[in-house]
Chains A and B, each alone.
Chain A
Amino acid sequence: MNTQTATTDEYRVCNTTGLNIFRKAEWFVKANAVLAVIFLLVGAVAALLLALTRWSNVMLLSDVWYYRMLTVHGVNMLVFWIIFLEMAILYFASTTLLNTRLFSKKLAYVSLVLMTIGAIATNYIMFAGQADVLLTSYPPLEAHPLFYLGIILFAVGALIVCFNFFATLYIAKKNKTYEGSMPLVTFGAATAAIIAVVALVHGAIALVPTFFWSMGWTEMMDPGVYRLFWWGLGHHSQQINVAAMVAVWYFIATMSTGAKPLNETVCRAAFILYILFINLAAAHHLLVDPGFSAEWKMWNTSYAMYLAVLASMIHGYTVPASMEVAMRRKGFNKGIFGWFARLPWKDPGFSAVALSAIIFGFIGGITGVTLGTEQINIMAHNTLRIPGHFHATVVGGTSLAFMGLCYYVVPLIFQKDFYLKGLARIQPWIFGGGIVIMSLGMSFAGTYGVPRRTYDSDFSGATLETGFDPVAHIMLGILGIGGILAFIGLLLFILLVVAAVFFGPSLKGKKMPTWQTPEAQKMTDDLISRGYEEEGKDYKHIKTPGTVVLVLIFLLSFAIYYFANWAALADLWHIR
């Protein structure tokens, strides 16, 4: 498209997309992305050690270090890696996509400093061995005050970024830097930011009093109430991750295949469902907790939560369908799946996102909704089925999509090229494959009742001995092997990104090198440059049979898994 290199002090013109990239905001995209990857590395080392400890024939760490690394892994991955990267997305989606400057550079600095100090402080105290309380820090377990303080500082910083984001949307609207409605990707990012505010408020209600208690200023918060509010943070955060991930799906779908949302109304309505119906879904972490009525639990998981599920199922159709339409418009019309084979599988940004959608939907989504059913949760609560589920959502789904995004952020924002592109092309497959294997190992071990968060699955040395079926131990071995593979994939990602960002060939003034063949790239460019209006005109006549088959297979798998779990439940003792 736009290949001229018009630049000013305030912004430069992207040589690939023709969008204006605002220099100040660009710096914060970079800073947050680099920090994200640093904490990803910390979390990844811990991940490998954990996987090699849960593998019951290896049991690498000592008990103390297993619990310590579990805390380090959970906090660095679920909080620092994911949220730093989401901050980068907010800066990008608000400024570049809306063609506006950042609202406040000062606020951006303040938030960055707070978040960095918070993350370092929390890591320091965890490694110092004074916060072996795991990510959730359920009272009466008590950590050093610095643990809570670090997380609170980090959260305040993130809240400021959200504020800066909303203020940027406001000035863009006011200054009329764009016409009509904001782009879908920005809409998705805004969804994530709105949910983030709700999440952080819940987090403050749980963690600020707990910090005061750890200082000895107040009484301990009731453990049940703490869980209710902590999961108001913990669950909402997952919805932030989902919304951000879906925004990335749409972004990469456009960039790599030229896809356009089939129906803006449907896509946006689905995002709005996330905002409206997520508040109540924290209940699915409390299904077998004392203190809540059955009515409360059911209301809060089903009627409301399933509308958020509906939203994900809608995105699960619209994203592949938009790609199918784009591919068919390029002329790949052979049979039902001809277009599918011709997708840009050699583009790691694309393959990461495609795998992310498949893993998130087929494993993460199906298990999540099933395990979050009030009664079925009896067979899943705190077993390895739970990490088996969320490593398919937040890791195989969100983290993999974010990796895919980085394959575009590095050339477009850092303006650096990758080395070893062959390795980059297989990296998403190694990571995604490893996570799938690990997640299946966890899930199947969990169906035998193997607990999560437990150093020794066999409880050897306990007064009353216990143990698991040998098959459960084989599953723990599969967990270990999948974990090693995922670690290799993750390390490869970090090495490729670091090598490119710090030592890669400069792309200044150049168009982003295509991951595809030049002809394929040209077709994608043509589709993008035909713009919005023309694009919308004739799509109605193009059918999406391939996607329909895919989603029907999905629905069938979902129903089978769901009802198989009810059948297994019927074999348990009677309980109420």
Chain B
Amino acid sequence: MSIFHPKGNWFRAPTGSERMWVGLALVWCLVMSITMPWWHFQGKQNAPSETYEVDPAAFMERVNQFVDAHQVDEVNGVPIVEPPPGGDAYLMGQMWRWYPVLKLKEGQTYRIHVSSVDLQHGLSILPLNMNVHVLPGYDYVMTVTPTTSGEFNIICNEFCGIGHHLMTGRIIVES
């Protein structure tokens, strides 16, 4: 009885189907533990880890330089910026917008620096449903290769104050 104390020596190895299940469960846990590092080397989608410390003001400055250097157009007053293929791009989370709009080429690889200049934000690229967390003070480098083309919306999915549900952005991918 689980509510009464067991008497005598209750120490013994599992037997029968209980033993089988413990073994099976252990094997499954090992399968899952191996899948993760395997995908790390073989898979194309891994959580980014490259990070640098950055002062929010300095990050905003770099974003502005990036926009000045590579702006090609604008949409609803937001600059559209085309970084050189293979080069660095910047995406700033700010209450309440993702700035600027990026224009990328399918199949090219970009280093997209994301950071916040105020609160924590959540970068969510739709309809792909790719998400990373964005913190002030951290320059998070996502090395991204778009494999599909079209217009992709960005939303914020971490609460960042009362205008959180107005915080959007966009990535345009040309084929």
- A interface residues (Cβ-Cβ under 8 A, vs B): 17, 19, 63-64, 67, 70, 97, 132, 134, 138, 140-141, 178-185, 222-224, 227, 250-251, 253-255, 258-266, 286-294, 297-298, 301-303, 306-307, 309-310, 313-314, 317-318, 321, 369, 373-375, 377-383, 447-449, 451-456, 459, 461-469, 528, 531-533, 535, 540, 543-545, 547-548, 551, 555, 558-559, 562, 566, 569-570, 572-576
The count of A-to-B residue pairs whose CB atoms sit within 8 angstroms is: 322
Would A309 and B45 count as touching, CB distance under 8 A? no
Q: Do B165 and A374 have beta carbons less than 8 Å apart? A: no
Which residues of A have CB within 8 Å of B153?
464, 466-467
Residues of B within 8 A of A132 (CB): 162
Q: How far is the CA of A382 from the CA of B143 in the complex (A)?
A: 21
- In the complex, what distance in Å separates the CA atom of A338 from the CA atom of B119? 57
**6 A-B pairs (CB sep. < 8 Å):** A63-B162, A254-B3, A263-B14, A306-B32, A373-B32, A453-B164
Q: Which residue of B lies closest to A264 (CB)?
A: B10
Q: Does B136 contact A (CB under 8 A)?
A: yes
Q: Is the CB of B47 within 8 A of A297?
A: yes
Q: How many residues of B contact A (CB 8 A)?
A: 92
Main SS class of interface, B: mixed
Is the beta-carbon distance between A184 and B2 smaller than 8 angstroms? yes
* Of A184, A448, A449, A544, most B-chain CB atoms within 10 Å: A449
**B28 and A265: CB pair below 8 A?**
no
Contacts of A67 in B (CB 8 A): 159, 162, 164
Please name all residues of chain B whose beta carbon is closer than 8 Å to the beta carbon of A64 when the two chains form the complex.
Answer: 162
Q: Are B168 and A573 touching (Cβ within 8 A)?
A: no
CB-CB nearest 6 A-B residue pairs: A451-B157, A290-B140, A466-B153, A449-B129, A250-B2, A306-B29
Distance from B57 Cβ to chain A, minimum over Cβ atoms (Å): 14
Bound-state CA distance A467–B13 (Å) is: 56
Q: Are B14 and A224 in contact, CB atoms less than 8 angstroms apart?
A: no
Check if B175 is an interface residue, CB within 8 A of chain A. no
Contacts of A454 in B (CB 8 A): 155, 157, 159, 164-165
B31 to chain A, nearest CB (A): 8
Contacts A141-B161, A555-B28 aside, 6 further interface pairs with beta carbons under 8 A come to A264-B6, A289-B133, A293-B49, A375-B39, A463-B168, A574-B147
Q: A180-B7, A253-B2, A453-B157 are in contact. Are A314 and B21 (CB under 8 A)?
A: yes
Contacts of B28 in A (CB 8 A): 313, 555, 558-559
> How far is A558 from B51 in the complex, measured between Cα atoms in Å?
34
Contacts of B165 in A (CB 8 A): 63, 454-456, 459
* Complex interface: chain A residues within 8 A of B146 (CB): 573
**B158 to A573, Cβ gap below 8 A?**
no
Shortest C-beta distance, A420 to chain B (Å), equals 28
- As a 0/1 sequence over residues 11 to 49 of chain B, the CB contacts with chain A under 8 angstroms (1 = contact) are 111111110111011101110110111011001111111
| B residues near A183, Cβ cutoff 8 Å | 1-6
Q: In the assembled complex, which residues on chain A have CB atoms less than 8 Å from the CB atom of B132?
A: 288-290, 378, 381
> Of B15, B16, B47, which one neighbours A287 at CB under 8 angstroms?
B47
A553 to chain B, nearest CB (A): 13
Partner of A291, one of B11, B37, B51: B51
A288's nearest neighbour on chain B, judged by CB, is: B132
Contact check, B167 vs A265: say whether CB atoms are below 8 A apart: no
Residues of A within 8 A of B25 (CB): 310, 313-314, 317, 555
Query: Across the interface, do B3 and A574 meet the contact criterion of CB distance under 8 Å?
Result: no
Asked if residues B133 and A382 are in contact (CB atoms below 8 Å), the reply is: yes
Q: In the complex the two chains form, is B143's CB within 8 Å of A575's CB?
A: yes
Q: A381, B122: Cβ atoms under 8 Å?
A: yes
Contact residue among B76, B78, B131, B134 (Cβ-Cβ distance under 8 Å from A379): B131
Task: Report the separation of the CA atoms of residues A260 and B1 in the bound assembly, to the nearest whole angstrom.
Answer: 4
**Which residues in A have their C-beta under 8 angstroms from that of B109?**
574
B32 touches A290 (CB 8 A): no
B122–A464 CB distance below 8 A: no
Taking CB atoms, residues of chain B closer than 8 Å to A562 are 32
Given A141-B119, A382-B122, A551-B21, A572 and B128 touching (CB < 8 A)?
yes
Interfacial chain B residues near A185, Cβ < 8 Å: 2-3
- Supposing A250-B2, A378-B45 touch, asked if A533 and B7 sit within 8 A by C-beta, the answer is yes
A76 CA / B5 CA spacing, docked (Å): 35
B169 lies within 8 A of chain A by Cβ: yes
Question: Nearest Cβ in chain B — how far from A536, in angstroms?
Answer: 8
Look across to chain A and name the residue whose beta carbon is closest to the beta carbon of B44.
A574
Interface centre among A454, A533, A540 (most CB of B within 10 A): A454
Residue among B26, B30, B33, B156 facing the most chain A CB atoms (10 A cut-off)? B33
| Chain B residues closer than 8 Å to A569, beta-carbon distance | 43, 45
The answer, among B6, B101, B131, B137, for a CB contact under 8 Å with A288, is B131
Contact yes or no, B131 A380, CB < 8 A: yes
Chain A residues contacting B167 (CB-CB under 8 Å) are: 459, 462
Given contacts A263-B14, A317-B18, whether A297 and B49 have CB atoms under 8 Å apart is: yes
